[in-house]
Structure formats: structure tokens, C-alpha cells
A = this chain, B = another copy of it.
Amino acid sequence: MRLSYFHSPDRVPAEGMADAAVAIDVLRATTTMAWALHNGAEAIQAFADLAQLDAAASAWPDDQSLRAGERGGQKLEGFDLGNSPLAVTPERIGGRRIFMSTTNGTRALDRVRSAPMLLTAALVNRSAVAQRLLQHRPEQIWMVGSGWEGAYSLEDSLAAGALADALLEGSGASLLDLAGNDETCAAHALWQQWKDQPEALLRLASHGQRLQRLGDHDADLACCATVDSLTVVPSQDEPGVLRLS
């Protein structure tokens, strides 16, 4: 296994594709996806483009679907859900397909949708994703952060480092052998430095600060910072559609 981390979708190499890709958007898309599937959603269908989301959702029965849309940290008008992991309760989403578009998270997924194995990870399901990768041992693994509008993201790097740490421990490999690029080594150091206070790092991160300024996001931040609270592994099983597998 060689594990590379790309800070944002636009840093993913233009040529080629990894054997496995892991999309990460800790605040909050991939945290919310993990919670939604854990709580019984039929599937998550992700869209970078809102018009495509509308077209796909309209073709689905109303009582079996929900629209989740977020831009700039806030729920889009007319949508059923925003991007909060606390809103995807079993009562609300059980058995339904969630048609989802977020500012940043869905772009990362879109960039690596041709990978033979495509998973989503956040702090909440870090160990579960690591276990899945250790079962399959793909030769090349790419982790893709979401960033904020293409910029580097501290919280996605923390999760990338947390996943790297679990893979190091599970495989017995050295960092020199496992790390496919410098970004992976730096993410691992970030995790080593902050693993005992992940919520403090999320609050220090620029996107965490943005959510705090919007107000009413304390419970979301605490939820997104809880490491290994879930055992689900969201996995793409048809283009753009994530299910538990």
C-alpha cells in the first residue's frame, strides 16, 4: 500500500487513478454521510451541480427521497436538509435516498468517482475505513481533502493523518514505506500533535471558525470531532451513489 493525500480536488493528478480513493470533508459532508447511512438512509447520491441534483431527485418518489443542499455553511432555501450530521435522524431519513450537494465535499467525491474503490471518511468512521482498506490492501490509495473553495483544510488533514496512523498501525509499515507524498507525512504529524484534542483543532480551523461565527454549530463541531463513534463505511456502488457495503 502507498498512501497519498491531496489537499483539495484540484491537487489530484490529472493523469491516472488510484486503486482506492477516500474522499474527506470533516466539516461536514462526509461526517453527515456516515451518520445518514448509519441511521438507515437507503443511499446518498452526491452532486456537484444543483441542476443535476434537481433533475435526479424529481424522478424519485417524494416519500422516498430528501434533498440536502448547503452553500457557505448554510442550508439552501427549499431543501429538506442542510449539511448537519445531527439532522439526519432515523425518523427523518430512514429508508430514504438523500440527494446531496455541498459547497466543497461533493466536489472531492466527483473528482475521484472513477476509482475502482471509492470510500468516504471523516473522524467519526476513521478506524472503520482503515479496516476496510487493510482487508483489501489496494496498491495505491489516494485521500482527497475538500478544502474551502480549493484551499487547504486543517480538519480534513487531521482526518487524513488519523487514517494514515491507523494504516501504519494495522500494516506494520513505516511512514517512509507507506507515505506516497509529503502531504501524507505532514497530515500524520498533525494528527500526532492534536489527537488528544480534535475538537480544539476543529475550532482553530478557518472553517470551524466560520461555523462558530454563523452561530448554533457547537453540537455539530462536537459531533464531527468525535473519533470512531461509528463503524460504517460509505462506499460508491454505482456512479455517484454511496451505500454501506
Contacts and interface: CB of A to CB of B under 8 A. Distances in A.
Interface stretch (A44-52, A117-125, A183-191, A224-232): A183-191
Identical copies of this chain, number: 2
A208 to B, nearest CB: 10
Interface residues of A, number: 23
Nearest to A182: B154
Given A175-B204, A204-B175, A152 B189 contact: no
Given A152-B7, A204-B175, A204-B176, A189 B182 contact: no
Interface in A161-220: 175-176, 179, 181-183, 185-186, 189-190, 192-194, 201, 204-206
A223 B85 CA distance: 49
Interface in A1-39: 7
B193 A189 contact: yes
A153 interface: yes
Contacts of A134: none
Interface in A99-158: 151-154, 157
B194 A182 contact: no
Given A154-B186, A186-B186, 16 more contacts: A7-B7, A152-B181, A152-B186, A153-B182, A154-B182, A157-B182, A157-B186, A175-B204, A179-B204, A182-B205, A185-B204, A185-B205, A189-B189, A189-B190, A189-B194, A190-B190
Given A7-B152, A152-B7, A206 B193 contact: no
A54 to B, nearest CB: 33
A184 to B, nearest CB: 10
28 contacts: A7-B152, A151-B181, A151-B182, A152-B181, A152-B182, A152-B183, A152-B186, A153-B182, A154-B182, A154-B185, A154-B186, A157-B182, A157-B186, A175-B204, A176-B204, A179-B204, A181-B206, A182-B205, A182-B206, A185-B201, A185-B205, A186-B190, A189-B189, A189-B190, A189-B194, A190-B190, A192-B193, A193-B193
